[in-house]
Amino acid sequence: MPDRVLLKPPFGQGEPQEFDATPDVLVPLMVSGWSQCEAAGRPICTDDEIPGVAASLGITADSLRTDLAAVDFTPQKEQTEEVNENVR
Amino acid sequence: MSVRMQEVVAAFGFRKQTAIGTAAIAADCWRLSKINAALANPKLITESDAAEYGKGHEFATALIKSYWDVGFTIEKYLSAEMAAWALSFGMGKVVKTGSGGNWIYTITTPFGSAGDSVELPTFSWVEQIRIGGATVVLDRVIVGVAVESWMISLGSGPGRANSKIAIECVGSGKYVSPSSITIPAASAEKLLPAASAAVTIIGVDYIAAKDLISLEMGWKNNIRMDSGFYPGSGFQTAGDGSTGAIRGRMEYGDRVGTLRFVARYKYGSAELTKLLALTTGTAVVTLTYDANATVTVTWQQVGFAVAEIGETDGWVSVSVDCTPQYHATNAVVSAVAKCNTDNICQAPT
C-alpha cells in the first residue's frame, strides 16, 4: 500500500486532499498546480481547527507542525475531566 | 605560506533558504566533495563617472559600486544524494514522502500558470580555507544561490568518471564573510555509477540490447538575471546604498530540457525511422545504488530531432538529439529521487 501525502490545490483554493504518493498520481497533480502542504507528509491545520481539548492544553497549529509526531492527541482521562470541569 | 586549492572545504544548504537574503544555518548544511576547483567568487561590478558631464573632461574621477554577481559550477560524481539535491533545486517543485531515513523526492517543474511561484528555491554555499585560527584564508557564505542548470553525463568505461553531474549555479550577489557557519563533517554519498543504468527511450530498452554508449540529459532554467534587480531588491549591506545592489529574486526564464545519446547502430535499429516518422514517446533513465538510493528521470514526451550515423571506437553508432516536448498531462520532465538524506529542498522548520 503506497504512502499517502497531503497536497493543497492550485492557487491555494480549496481544501488539502490526500493522495497516493506514487509518481503516476503525483506528477500530473504537481504540474497542474497541486503542491505539498507544509511539514512534509504531515497534515496541517489552522488554529481554528485544533480540537478544543488540545487547544486548552496550549497546542497550536505551529506547535503541531514543529513536531507532530511527538504530540499525543488522545486526551488523558484526567485532562478531559479537567476541561469538562472548566467548561462547567 | 602558499595554499593548496584542495584545502578548500565547501558546504551548502540541503534545505532551501527561508528568503533569498537569509543564509542557511549550519544545521541545514551538508559537506560534500566536488571534482572541480572553481570557487564561487562574488564579483563586484563597478561603474565609473567617465561619461558624465560637468567634470570638465572625459576621464573617470571615481568608481561606484554598481551591483554584485555570482556564478559558479559544481562538478561531482553522481550520487543519490546529489541527484536528489540538484534535481530538486534545479527543477524547483518537490514533494517529499517516505519514512525511516528512506526518503523519496518526487520532482517536477513549476508552472506559474498553474499557481506555482516563478521564483526558484535558493540555497547557501559556504567556502572555507584554513578556518579556525589566526591564519584564516577564506571564510564566506554565498547567499541566495539558485541552480541555473544541471547536466548528467553517462559514459562507457570503468570508473566514477563515467557518471557525473555538472550543476551551474547563479547567486543573488549577497555574501557574508566571515560566514559564522561551522561546516559539518563530510556526508557519505551513495554513488550512482553508469553501470547501474536502465535506459528506455521511445519503447527501446537500450540496456537490454547492450547498445548505449553514452547519454547526456539536463535542464536549464535560463534564470532572468537582470530582472533580479528591481526597485527595492536590496544592497550588499542592508540599508547602505554605497555597497552595491543585489538581486531580490531568481525567476526562471524560458526553460529547456536536453536529452541526447549515442548508441550502437545495427540491423533493426530504428532511430532513423523514428526521426523520419517524427515518432514520440517517453524516455526513462534510472540509476541505482540500492533500493533506497536511486534516481529516475522521466522525459514525458520526446522526439528525435537529429539522428546521425557515425563511428564510435570502431563500431557503427547513431548519435541522437532528442527534443523534450510538453505532454498534456505530465508536462516535460519529472524525477523520482530516493536517498537517505531528509529535508532536501524543504523549508527550514
DSSP string, B190-218: -B--GGG-EEEETTEETTTTT-EEEEEEE
In this complex, the residue of B106, B111, B343 whose CB is nearest that of residue A26 is: B106
Q: Which residue of A has its CA nearest to B334?
A: A27
Q: Report the pLDDT value the prediction gives residue A75, as an integer from 0 to 100.
A: 46
Dihedral sign, Cα of residue B208, residue B330, residue B303, residue B118: negative
Q: Where are the domains of chain A?
A: 1-43, 45-88
Mean residue pLDDT across chain A: 70
Closest residue in chain B to residue A41, using alpha carbons only = B97
CB contact under 8 A, B329 and A26: no
Section A2-16 average pLDDT = 93
CB B174 within 8 A of CB B236: yes
Query: Which has the closest alpha carbon to B349: A23, A11, A40, A54?
Result: A40
How far is Cα B279 from Cα B52, in angstroms, rounded to an integer?
Answer: 59
Residue A60: what residue type? T
* Consecutive H or E run containing B336: strand B333-339
Nearest Cα residue in chain A from B111: A31
pLDDT value at A82 more than 80: no
B294 touching chain A per CB within 8 A:
no
Instruction: Note if the pTM is more than 0.90.
Output: no
Return the higher-pLDDT residue of A66 and B313: B313
Residues 87-106 of B with CB under 8 A from A: 93-99, 104, 106
d(CA B22, CA B142): 10
Smallest Cβ–Cβ distance between B95 and the set A28, A30, A39 belongs to A30
Q: What is the DSSP string of B56-89?
A: SSSS---EEEEEEEEEEEEEEE-BHHHHHHHHHH
How many CB pairs lie under 8 A apart between chains A and B?
68
C-alpha cell at B265: 547502430
Give the mean model confidence (pLDDT) for residues A46-64: 57
Interface test with A, best of B87, B94, B106, B294 (most A CBs within 10 A): B106
Task: Give dist(CA B31, CA B48) in Å, integer.
Answer: 40
Can you give A11-28 as a three-state secondary structure string? Answer: HHCCCCEEEECCHHHHHH
> What per-residue confidence (pLDDT) applies to A40?
42
**How far is residue B27 from each of residues B11, B13, B183, measured CA to CA in Å?**
11, 9, 9
Longest dimension (CA), chain A: 52
Using alpha carbons, select from B13, B25, B281 the residue that is nearest to residue B146: B13
Instruction: Provide the b/e sequence for B112-139 (b: ≥16 CB within 10 Å).
Output: eebbbeebbbbbbbbbbbbbeeeeeebb
- From B346, which residue of chain A is nearest by alpha-carbon distance? A40
Q: How far apart are the first and last CA of chain A?
A: 45
> What are the pLDDT digits (tens) for B12-36?
999 999 999 999 999 999 999 999 9
Q: For chain B, which ranges sit under pLDDT 70?
A: none
pLDDT for residue A57? 66
Contact A19, A25 (CB under 8 A): yes
A33 vs B104: CB contact, 8 Å cut-off? no
Q: How far is B348 from chain A (nearest CA, A)?
A: 9
pLDDT at B109: 98
Give the minimum alpha-carbon distance from B206 to chain A in angstroms, rounded to a whole number: 23
Q: Which pLDDT score is estimated for B135? A: 86
